[in-house]
Amino acid sequence: MLSNLGDGIRMAALPLLAAAITSDPVAVAGVAIAGQSPWLLFGLFAGAIIDRFDQRRLAAAVDVVRVSMLAVLVVSVSLDVAGIALLYLVAFVCGVGETLRDTATATLLPPLVKDADLDRANGGLVNAEVAGNELVGPPIGGYLFGVALVLPFAVNGGALALAAALIFSLPDVFAPKAGSYGTKGRIWSDTRAGLRWLIKHPRLRTIVGLGAVFAAMDSAWFAVLVLYVPQVLGLPAWGYGVLLGVGAVGGLAGGFFATRVTRMIGPAGALAGCLGCAAIGQLMIGITASAVVVAAGLAITSAAFGVWAVVARTTRQRLTPAEMLGRVSSAAMTAVMSASPLGALLGGLVATAWGLRAPILVGVPVLTVAAVVCFLAMRERG
């Protein structure tokens, strides 16, 4: 929770600091690009690294490195010598750390909890991510930046330092395990071994592929929501923030109820239901000019994404051998992280050609078909 809270604070404050340094839109956007590019550059290899080391020590070491970078930024801002290049460096290094830490976090739970409680534990973890990254962290980051330029980065560093200490206090049960693919080969060889294993596993392959489709369709409409709110709904700027908050609350609800949903209808029904509910939510958003209906649609789609995250992660942890979990998790997360910007690009192009409603509605038939495919494939292989 502390690490996610710090990430949310930093993600809000870094663009604000960039805007205070330069008015060039491309330069300001470069901060987001620098922070997100590590997933595309190193995401696949993160798992091979995670599988080689004690995940507890690695996660703590990553947080220490990020704290050091934030300390450099705090000093530079205090001395009024911070430039846009330093912001890019901080965003990139923190992004690399986030890539490794998120992958390590996905492997920490199985040794710590009973298999029967794995879905419940994942629900809490997903809720911590949503609350820190989307609901609580960004508003705090914006507020702290308004108080003092260095304050959000100092708080971010303190949160990460405390998170590193807490991670290091976990039981020493995360030593790398030898398996059929070993951990002593080259990084690229280990990465390919993990990919081959994932591709040959029908159920996990289906989940990863449909998860990428889900992420792409979600990003397609979310990328134009900032224009949809004022131009179609006629709401002021604060309305966009309110709708984002509603979406974050929906995501929290999804994470909270994911365990109950899964135990009632099973993983196949839960995953297919997520895709179907997302299609319904996007249909609600795309065919109306009512802010209330759009808010309900946002809550539904976000809740569906929250349930999907818990069920997909739990299924992956249960079906993947411990020595392969880092590589399989990084491959799955990289697929989602790569699909998101592609979906956003698709959304922009579709909106330019056919209007702002089009990228929202285009996902409805795609997700509906995906729901049917998911249910049939998962039920058959269950």
Q: Residue 339 maps to which CATH number? A: 1.20.1250.20
pLDDT of 311-361, one tens digit each?
Answer: 999 999 999 998 888 889 888 888 888 888 888 888 888 988 999 899 999
Residues 164, 195: one domain? no
Q: Which of 139, 169, 199 marks a domain boundary? A: 169
* Torsion from C-alpha of 322, 323, 328, 330, nearest 10 degrees: 100
What pLDDT is recorded for position 140? 82
Residues 148, 260: one domain? no
Residue 88 has a CB neighbour count (10 Å cut-off) of 18
Tell me which residue range forms the domain holding 48: 2-169
Residues 139, 208: one domain? no
Asked whether residue 186 is domain-assigned, the answer is no
DSSP classification of residue 131? I
Asked whether residue 176 is domain-assigned, the answer is no
**Rounded distance between C-alpha atoms, residue 31 and residue 156, angstroms:** 17
> Which of 69-83, 109-123, 265-279 has the lowest average pLDDT?
109-123
Helix (H, G, I), strand (E, B) or coil at 223: coil
Residues 96, 13: one domain? yes
Residues 234, 282: one domain? yes
Q: Which of 108, 136, 169 marks a domain boundary? A: 169
pLDDT of 240-259, one tens digit each?
Answer: 778 888 888 999 999 999 99
Asked whether residue 165 is domain-assigned, the answer is yes
Asked whether residue 82 is domain-assigned, the answer is yes
* Total structural domains within the chain: 2
Residues 126, 42: one domain? yes
Asked whether residue 182 is domain-assigned, the answer is no
Residues 163, 215: one domain? no
Q: What length does the chain have?
A: 382
Residues 200, 122: one domain? no
What pLDDT is recorded for position 184? 47
Q: Residue 54 maps to which CATH number? A: 1.20.1250
Asked whether residue 70 is domain-assigned, the answer is yes
Residues 158, 202: one domain? no
Above pLDDT 70, what percent of the chain? 93
Residues 372, 301: one domain? yes
Asked whether residue 87 is domain-assigned, the answer is yes
Q: Which of 134, 169, 204 marks a domain boundary? A: 169
pLDDT over 60 at 263, yes or no: yes
Which residue pairs from 222-231 have beta carbons closer than 8 angstroms and sit at least 24 positions apart in sequence?
Answer: 222/344, 222/347, 223/343, 223/344, 223/345, 223/347, 223/348, 223/359, 224/347, 224/348, 224/351, 224/356, 224/359, 224/360, 227/351, 227/356, 228/285, 228/356, 228/357, 228/360, 231/356
pTM recorded for the entire structure? 0.80
Residues 67, 164: one domain? yes
pLDDT of 146-202, one tens digit each?
Answer: 788 888 888 888 888 887 777 766 665 455 554 444 444 588 888 888 899 999 999
Asked whether residue 149 is domain-assigned, the answer is yes
Residues 9, 157: one domain? yes
**Rounded distance between C-alpha atoms, residue 272 and residue 304, angstroms:** 10
